Chains A and B, each alone.
Chain A
Amino acid sequence: MAKKSHGPNKHGHDHGNDDGHDHAHDPLEEGAALRVRALEEIVVAKGLVDPDALDAIVEYYERETGPRNGAQVIARAWTDPDFKDWLLKDGTAAINSLGFSGYQGEHIRVIENTDTVHNVVVCTLCSCYPWPVLGLAPAWYKSPAYRSRVVREPRVVLQEFGLNLASSVKVRVWDSTAEVRYLVLPRRPPGSEGMDAPELANIITRNGMIGTASV
């Protein structure tokens, strides 16, 4: 629907599109779609791009990356103390050992939520995000509202996500400004003691690993 079709930089602008029209009727989007098609035709005609590579890279990201990868990492850490130690010490190596690696995940640091510290990740300057373990970033993560506010008023932003933190819990915001990408290790929820790693992986969410949800 209209809201879903809006790109991340358009939030806060009401285009009055909630009348059932799909994105193709948004002149801004129509222009963007034409622009991309024109560029693709030109660069393919010039021999700069192999069309098969375009399909292959999208397929790679859609099939092989995504928050299910990260959830496996977290579930393993919750069930294997040695792995957890390794993950916190050398996140990249521990994550690579589970078969997850690659562009925008060359250097991953895992930060642990505790009884006293809650971590939340942002990239205020662009949209840096650990692609191999979380996939490509969701629209809200890339939005001006999130990027501008979470460093200044993290508790208010977290409340908008439905996460109310006690004042005794310190918030640590991680702004991804250089080459390290951050993954939050949420606290294992009470009542999950009897669950095995695959069951735990099912309750871990993308937002939990960014820090905008508790799990």
Chain B
Amino acid sequence: MNGIHDMGGMHGFGKVQVDDDTVFGADWQRRAFALVETLAWAVPYSTDQHRYAIECLEPVNYLKHDYFENWIEATETLLIEAGLVDRSELEAGVKRFDINCENHAPVGPQTLVAATRAGAEMIFPADTSTAAFHVGQRVRVLNTHRQGHTRVPGYVRGKCGLIIRNGGIFQFADSLAAGNGPDPQHCYTVEFTSTTLWGDDGSQGDTICLDLWEPYLEAI
């Protein structure tokens, strides 16, 4: 979606606060992070569904609110959509109805840490699909403007770049965020020259590389 989260190239945000390397500045941010990680199991939701819920926040709030508050607000949305809490509970800060946890089991500490330490394979065997493009080929990013979650930043849409790597076959974020399963696709690293993306305001010789799934690209 063409949302406020899609920041590549925007003006107006000032200098980078290079000395602010805070990870958690307050304990509530720790709790917020932990809630998002644990509720992903019980609700459940995928990382891509959570990202999309963040992208759908009110743009003004996205900018005004703290990063971890945005994470929490997105999780509240996902809890409400799953019927597990309602708005009145969140406003009052108290539980008003019980739920059947049979399909929403809480994750225990050992399971959560073990799974986090292990990670989740997101790649699929190389022989499960044929690549449409090859390394060294020039491609154009499709100029699409769908409402749903996508991982094509606006600043490369319609632009031409060079495939420098076929990274393999990966679960497809657009499909996962829409609740349609992994729909594995080849994912390529595409290199764009700075001047292709930014014209005279780019810098000669510099490049920008993005990992883009095959459905985002067309041959030229």
Please tell me which one of the listed residues B20, B34, B90, B212 contacts residue A38 in the complex, with CB atoms under 8 A apart: B90
A172 at the interface (CB under 8 A from B): yes
Please indicate the chain B residues that have their CB under 8 angstroms from the CB of A28 in the complex.
64-66
Q: How far is the CA of A125 from the CA of B208 in the complex (A)?
A: 14
Q: Mark B50-80, 1 if CB is under 8 A from A, else 0.
A: 0100100000001111111110110110010
B213 & A178 in contact (Cβ 8 Å cutoff): yes
Q: How far is the CA of A185 from the CA of B89 in the complex (A)?
A: 49
User: Which chain B residues (182-220) contact chain A, with CB distance < 8 Å?
Assistant: 187, 189, 191, 197-198, 201-203, 205-213
Query: Contacts A9-B67, A50-B109 given: A175-B153 contact, CB under 8 Å?
Result: yes
A42 & B94 in contact (Cβ 8 Å cutoff): yes
Q: How many A-B residue pairs have CB under 8 A?
A: 321
A32 at the interface (CB under 8 A from B): yes
Residue of B nearest to A41 (CB): B93
B22 & A138 in contact (Cβ 8 Å cutoff): yes
User: Which chain B residues (1-43) contact chain A, with CB distance < 8 Å?
Assistant: 5-26, 28-35, 37-39, 42-43
A36 & B35 in contact (Cβ 8 Å cutoff): yes
Query: Contacts A32-B28, A32-B68, A161-B16 given: A147-B8 contact, CB under 8 Å?
Result: yes
Please tell me which one of the listed residues A35, A53, A140 contacts residue B106 in the complex, with CB atoms under 8 A apart: A53
B210 & A155 in contact (Cβ 8 Å cutoff): no
Please tell me which one of the listed residues B21, B72, B89 contacts residue A138 in the complex, with CB atoms under 8 A apart: B21
Please indicate the chain B residues that have their CB under 8 angstroms from the CB of A3 in the complex.
17, 20
Q: Mark A10-44, 1 if CB is under 8 A from B, else 0.
A: 11110000000001000011001111111111110
Q: How far is the CA of A212 from the CA of B20 in the complex (A)?
A: 13
Please indicate the chain A residues that have their CB under 8 angstroms from the CB of B64 in the complex.
9-10, 13, 28
Q: How far is the CA of A169 from the CA of B122 in the complex (A)?
A: 34
B95 & A138 in contact (Cβ 8 Å cutoff): no
Please indicate the chain A residues that have their CB under 8 angstroms from the CB of B24 in the complex.
136
Please indicate the chain B residues that have their CB under 8 angstroms from the CB of A155 in the complex.
203, 206
B22 & A144 in contact (Cβ 8 Å cutoff): no
B23 & A32 in contact (Cβ 8 Å cutoff): no
Please indicate the chain A residues that have their CB under 8 angstroms from the CB of B167 in the complex.
107, 109, 178, 180
Query: Contacts A54-B31, A171-B203 given: A103-B119 contact, CB under 8 Å?
Result: yes
Q: How far is the CA of A10 from the CA of B104 in the complex (A)?
A: 34
The CB with the most chain A CB atoms within 10 A, among B38, B62, B64, is that of B38
A98 at the interface (CB under 8 A from B): no
A206 at the interface (CB under 8 A from B): yes
Query: Contacts A155-B203, A175-B209 given: A53-B95 contact, CB under 8 Å?
Result: no
Q: How far is the CA of A72 from the CA of B156 in the complex (A)?
A: 35
CB distance from A91 to the nearest CB of B (A): 11
Please tell me which one of the listed residues A6, A124, A126, A154 contacts residue B25 in the complex, with CB atoms under 8 A apart: A6
Count residues on chain B whose CB falls below 8 Å from chain A CBs. 103
Q: How far is the CA of A10 from the CA of B108 in the complex (A)?
A: 34
B180 at the interface (CB under 8 A from A): no
Query: Contacts A144-B10, A171-B203 given: A7-B153 contact, CB under 8 Å?
Result: no
B66 & A29 in contact (Cβ 8 Å cutoff): yes
B33 & A103 in contact (Cβ 8 Å cutoff): no
Please indicate the chain A residues that have their CB under 8 angstroms from the CB of B95 in the complex.
41-42, 45-46
Please indicate the chain B residues that have their CB under 8 angstroms from the CB of A153 in the complex.
201, 203
Please indicate the chain B residues that have their CB under 8 angstroms from the CB of A55 in the complex.
34, 109
A124 & B16 in contact (Cβ 8 Å cutoff): no
Please indicate the chain A residues that have their CB under 8 angstroms from the CB of B126 in the complex.
none
Query: Contacts A38-B93, A144-B13, A173-B209 given: A48-B106 contact, CB under 8 Å?
Result: yes
For the A-B complex with A139-B23, A143-B16, A144-B13 known, give 11 more contacts whose Cβ atoms are closer than 8 Å: A29-B66, A37-B93, A40-B31, A46-B84, A48-B39, A49-B106, A125-B5, A147-B7, A151-B8, A162-B18, A180-B167
19 contacts between A and B (CB under 8 A): A3-B20, A6-B66, A36-B35, A43-B39, A46-B99, A48-B39, A48-B106, A49-B42, A50-B109, A52-B108, A53-B112, A57-B37, A60-B113, A106-B121, A147-B8, A152-B155, A172-B207, A173-B206, A176-B211
